[in-house]
Structure formats: structure tokens, C-alpha cells
Amino acid sequence: MNQIIKNDFLTVAVDPLGAQLASIKDQAGTEHLWQGDPAYWADRAPVLFPIVGGLIKDQYELDGATYTLPKHGFAKKMVFEVTDKSADSVSMAIKDDANTRTIYPFAFCFTVKFQLLGKQLAITYTIENKSATTQYASFGAHEGFNCPEGPEAYELRFEQEEKLATCGVDGNLLNNELTPVLEKGAVLPLKNSYFEIDALIFTTIRSQAVTLAKRGGGRAVRVDFPGVPYLAIWTRPSAPFVCIEPWCGLPDETVSSGKIAEKRGIMAVPAGETLHRTHTITFEG
């Protein structure tokens, strides 16, 4: 059953399966979250954990053993337990079990908290390493926002002036090719051609906030992601949604060693310690 939180401005539904957002409506009843039409993309806002993107042969090595993990990890297929609930916030968590330990040999608790703060939705991800060794992990967001006029009616407005190039993609992996998309500026008009292969993936970005806005005014959503080093933007050409994806982690590169401790962008959480990051979604206009 979806968990509902609300305040005077927003009503939000969260599905315990994957701790995935199911709906974000404003006080006028406007749905801002993509609703998962399988003709384009069946998901809405999957949570990526304990990896972001794909691995070479869907495998990684740790302490001489080889393990298999699917693209974006396993959290999106797990039912989260509601650990705390109020009128305007809900927290959900998963823990390691016999199944996860066969593919990810760590003792952990991974919590996602959704909290409404006025017109803003704050989403906090927390990893608790309950192992006696360092835990290697990544997590990321993948929220899709309704863009009924199609991507080319929208632009990205960055909080800082940027020089941006997107990483080349080989299947589920990154290659060493970079394609410039913004030479100098703070506004990037979206083009269907950007998404013919996959996503825009920015690994060197100065901004810690970006606004997806309809050109000429109207629908706009701002995502702030302090402390999150990477950003992906994804849709399908001419589809009526755009995903804004703050990532604490990256897919494997075609030249990756396969050792998870050497993986680019991986986070090392010491034994017994906790790591968390928060991104916020604000609906403007």
C-alpha cells in the first residue's frame, strides 16, 4: 500500500516496493511525477542502490570473490519497511538478508526518508554499515517529471555557469569519450538527439542545483543536490517526461578493473559508520 504524506502545498505517495515515489500533486491537483506509461518507460522514480548504472558483465570482485549485481542494484525490487511516519514525512528501510548477502556480502541498513517542507520535498538516503569491514556502495535518484510538451520544450537552468560534456555510453558502461553540450553558460536547451543513445551524464559539474523549466515560462521544478558529485539527465526522444538524477556513483567504465574497491565514484563506508545525502525537489511558478 502506498504511503501518503501531505501538507498545505503538496500530497506525495510513496510505494514501499523500492521506496519509489508514486505521485507528487500540488494543491490544485496537478500531477508532477511521471506516471509510468510502459509505452515510454514503466518506472516513475526508482531508487538506485547499492550501485548506480551497470557493471562489466554485471559482475564485480571483492576479496578475490566474484559477485553478480544487476544494473542499478537490487533496492528497486525489494519491499521497504516503514520505520517512521508522520503527516508530512515517512521513512522506509531495507536490511541485508540471506538473499542480498549472496550478491552483496555486507551487513547494512539502507533508509530513504521523504519529508515535506513547504513546497519542497526532501529525500534523504542513509547507509548504515553494520559490517566489520568497509562497505562499498553507491546510491542515486531517478525521478521522472512530467513534461507533456516533450523534452525540446524545456531547458535546464544551472545555478552556476558551466562548461559541460556528457560521457560516452557503451551499453551499460561509460567509455572515455566526452561530447561537449554546453561550452559556456548556465542554460542548456534540451534536444531529442541527446537521448538517442542514452542519458546526459555529467561527471564534472560545478552546480549543486538545476531547474527543469518550460521555455517561455510555466512548469518548472528545481532539484538541489548538495554533496552529490554527479548528475544524469534522461528521457526518450519526444517522450513526455524528463528524469533528473543526482548520483553518488557511476556505471563501470569500459576499462574498469572490475574490483569494487577501485570503482570510479564508489563510496567507502567504514565499519560501523553511517553516510547520508539529501536532495530536494521544489516546484516553482
Over the stretch 86-121, which tens digit does the pLDDT of each residue have?
999 999 999 999 999 999 999 999 999 999 999 999
Please tell me the distance from the alpha carbon of residue 283 to that of residue 9, in angstroms, as a whole number: 10
Distance separating the N- and C-terminal Cα atoms of the chain: 32
Q: How many domains does the chain have?
A: 1
Residue 232 pLDDT exceeds 90: yes
Number of Cβ within 10 Å of residue 29's Cβ equals 7
Beta strands in 105-151 (DSSP E): 108-117, 120-129, 135-137, 139-140, 143-146
The arithmetic mean of pLDDT across residues 118-135, rounded, is 97
CATH number of 149's domain: 2.70.98.10
What 8-state DSSP symbol labels residue 142?
-
Helix (H) or strand (E) holding 101: helix 98-103
Q: What pLDDT does residue 9 have?
A: 96
Percent of the chain with pLDDT over 90: 98
The arithmetic mean of pLDDT across residues 219-236, rounded, is 97
Longest dimension (CA), the chain: 56
Contact in structure between 219 and 181 (CB atoms under 8 Å): no
- Per the rule left: phi > 0, alpha: psi between -120 and 50, beta: everything else, 72 is left
The arithmetic mean of pLDDT across residues 154-164, rounded, is 98
Residue 285 pLDDT exceeds 70: no
- Which of these, 119, 153, 130, lies nearest to 242 by C-alpha position? 153
Residue 201 pLDDT exceeds 70: yes
Host domain of residue 101: 3-284
Please tell me the distance from the alpha carbon of residue 249 to that of residue 92, in angstroms, as a whole number: 21
**Order of strands across the sheet with 120-129?**
81-85, 89-95, 108-117, 120-129, 274-284, 220-224, 209-214, 154-170, 173-189
Q: What pLDDT does residue 218 have?
A: 87
